Structure 1
Amino acid sequence: MYAIIKTGSKQYKVAKGDIINVELLEGAKGDSVEFGDVLFVFDGKEHQVGAPHVTGFAVKGELMGETKGEKLTSMKYKPRKRQNHKFGHRQTYSKIKITDIAKR
């Protein structure tokens, strides 16, 4: 059984036991998280497509902590002015372990 959920303006394909990195969520390590925006559910025999969400389903997970993504670097440059500025960004993510895909 797998589902497609929406969180943080992104969509993720998840199954029971998967570990995913989503945009930062509030909570401490070990807290439970529930995703109500389920867009698609497939149980092995039949599928359910939401319009826009599948009613009656929720995906539950456990917050495993925080992790950081890769560093992105960029540079601003102004020709003939001897100006350049290099900067970087590293996004923080929440690590989630999917524990259950169930009906509410």
Structure 2
Amino acid sequence: MSGPIPKPLWNFTHIEILFLDDNHLEGPISQFSRFEKLRYLSLSNNNFDGRLEFLSFNISLRQLDSLDFSSNSLTGPIPSNVSGLQNLEQLFLSSNNLNGTILSGYSPFLH
């Protein structure tokens, strides 16, 4: 697949696991708040760009326990309230262009 995430995908609001790794998907990452039952989201090794600010407003993703955005072109800081995703056990953000300070709320993710 290439280009933005296909629009019909947004109609499947009860998705719990979504793997879109190793494609040529691009553009900003947004709209995942529609998937309130989402537990595992992996978008690694694509061409997504933009900032992770959308996570600041997607605290509705309360079921999310694994998030993989590694190997994209994401920029900016990690939003401070990602630590508010209480079920999040895995957070993969390597091989991006992120910057800023890692806050103490992220200590469970640092290894």
TM-score by length of 2: 0.21
Bigger Rg, structure 1 or 2:
1
TM-score (norm 1): 0.21
| Higher relative contact order structure (alpha carbons within 8 Å, sequence separation ≥ 6) | 1
* Greater percentage in strand: 1
